[in-house]
Chain A
Amino acid sequence: MPVSLAGGAIAVAGVAVALRGSRRELDERTALLAGLTAAFVFGAQMLNFPVAGGTSGHLLGGALAAILVGPWTGLLCVSVVLAVQALLFADGGLSALGVNIVLMAIVTVIVGYGVFRGLLRVLPKTRPSAVAASFAGALVSVPASAATFVLLYAVGGTADVPLGTVLSAMLGVHVLIGIGEALITAVTVSSVLAVRPDLVYGARDLARPLELRTSPVETS
């Protein structure tokens, strides 16, 4: 209970900061792109893929949304997805919404986008390196989210479960889920980059500005 309250407080603060930050990222199309990304993450979250031993994982989408629409708007997207899922589809539970936003929106966006930008700074500015960076960002974001869950559980868990067991079990499964997440993120980013590079916020500086070439035309 105190954990869900604290989670709620952190979530509200995070969303408030993101609301201010996203004004810088928004142009007239971004609300549309943000809504579409949210719908996309929502749809993709329904697609469960089998991992190992009967458990299955689904896309968290934090890293993907951050790379596509920018970290602030991406955070808003995933938060909206989680809120709508909790309210309308009764998935995840209303009381856990704060914790869910912290885990699946704030942690994945910060870690995923942080790794992505950090790698882009060192890698050569090409499309393959943007794809590789998005792979790494998504891969790291999932175990980071799981580790945060274990941390929260250690602080406020109601049942006395050995921490080491939980941590190793969670991390083991989530590294596998992370590979799935990373593949999906990287392939999505790569196919969008190939067709509509203008839609990938995280790789804007890769786009070469268009040059205006003029050639004299013979007039008679």
Chain B
Amino acid sequence: MERKTRIEIAKPGLDGHDRGAKYIARALKDAGYEVIYTGIRQTPESIVATAIQEDVDFVGLSLLSGAHNELFPRVVELLKAEGADDIIVFGGGVIPEEDVESLTKKGIQAIFRPGTPISAVIDFIESKKKTTAA
């Protein structure tokens, strides 16, 4: 039996704009993945604890408050500290172009900026998921 791909969709930080996160959660469900949706105002700690308990393959972070340069890398660091750096982190939201490179360097494997079609996210997951199969 094929291993199902599991994805956590989480919103770190304090902004309550969850339409993007909900949209992506629903679209990934429709694409056949199992999506664990944790809702708004999550801390990097709660996101990482959830990722480990749920044994996810991916963590998708959505942020519109501007704190992505602090919070996204923090999630990657905490996963590493837990020995769970095989979990792939990607992000989305209003993220300026000039931040993308430094975020990628810090281990966020993809950044999806406003206007990205959902197929780009699915392509990313499909290209990465094989390497995460246990």
Q: Is B one of A's binding partners? A: no
Chain B positions within 8 Å of A, measured between CB atoms, are none
